[in-house]
């Protein structure tokens, strides 16, 4: 006759209702962690935005969806040619009638740059800007000579003559910049890294 080993309470089969409770608690914890991570990622790392106007055509079209890298601004630098998303300065609503809180434009001038224009040519520190990105001419309103202040940026839409930008309402404070556009994800046929 085989010997039977005594079992302690931990080795006995558990109550089915206790197992269900443990699985429920595990799922609640997993969902809480996932929700927390998604909030942290959205608030501090990446966020998606929708393009509501044609001011960035032909680079970004109405209805495009983009992903913005927030850490690229928080931990990095902003350069001429970067496409940024920023909270609209108050003047935008008065001068352009814009109702959007967040805007997307291309950085043309960084702190200390001397900006002006001649015809359709943008001048930075007296040198013609080589716009190596898609854009639409004519320039539209001229850039009146100015110096970009410390911690501020001069921005324009790629659709130069159809963009309410720094030419109308001034500079974007660095604190208003939400992040740099690094990927267009929609429509699928136009996925593009920036």
Segment 89-112, tens digit of pLDDT: 777 776 776 666 889 999 999 999
Q: Which structure tokens are listed for 167?
A: 């030419």
Across 72-81, 114-123, 125-134, 152-161, least confident range: 72-81
The per-residue pLDDT for range 144-168, each reduced to its tens digit, is 999 999 999 999 999 999 998 999 9
Arithmetic mean of pLDDT, 138-144: 93
SS3 49: strand
Active site (catalytic) residues: 55, 105
**pLDDT, position 85:** 94
How would residue 73 be classed by pLDDT, with cut points 50, 70 and 90? confident
Of residues 121 and 5, which shows the higher confidence score? 121
pTM over 0.85: no
The set of residues, in sequence order, having a beta carbon less than 8 Å from that of 75 and lying 6+ positions away, is none
How would residue 10 be classed by pLDDT, with cut points 50, 70 and 90? very low
| Domain at 47-193: CATH code | 2.10.109.10
Of residues 131 and 76, which shows the higher confidence score? 131
The backbone region for 41, taken as left when phi is positive above 0, alpha when psi lies in -120 to 50, beta otherwise, is alpha
> Does position 173 have pLDDT exceeding 60, yes or no?
yes
The residues spanned by each domain of the chain are 47-193
Hey, which residues does 104 pair with through a beta bridge? 85
Q: How many helices (H) and strands (E) does the chain have?
A: 4, 12
C-beta of residue 181 within 8 angstroms of C-beta of residue 194 = yes
Q: What is the mean pLDDT of the chain?
A: 84
> Does position 183 have pLDDT exceeding 80, yes or no?
yes
> Does position 123 have pLDDT exceeding 90, yes or no?
yes
């Amino acid at each position: 006759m085989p010997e039977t080993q005594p079992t302690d309470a931990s080795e006995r089969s558990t109550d089915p209702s206790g197992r269900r409770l443990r699985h429920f608690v595990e799922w609640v914890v997993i969902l809480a962690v996932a929700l927390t991570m998604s909030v942290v990622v959205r608030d501090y790392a990446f966020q998606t935005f929708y393009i509501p106007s044609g001011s960035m055509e032909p680079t970004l079209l109405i209805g495009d969806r983009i992903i913005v890298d927030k850490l690229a601004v928080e931990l990095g630098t902003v350069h001429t040619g970067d496409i940024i998303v920023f909270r609209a300065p108050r003047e935008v609503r008065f001068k352009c009638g814009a109702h959007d809180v967040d805007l997307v434009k291309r950085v043309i001038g960084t702190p200390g740059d001397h900006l002006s224009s001649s015809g359709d040519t943008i001048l930075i520190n007296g040198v013609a800007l080589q716009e190596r990105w898609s854009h639409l001419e004519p320039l539209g309103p001229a850039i009146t000579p100015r110096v970009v202040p410390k911690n501020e940026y001069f921005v324009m839409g790629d659709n130069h003559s159809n963009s309410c930008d720094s030419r109308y309402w001034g500079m974007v404070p660095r604190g208003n910049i939400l992040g740099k556009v690094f990927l267009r994800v929609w429509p699928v046929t136009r996925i593009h890294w920036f």
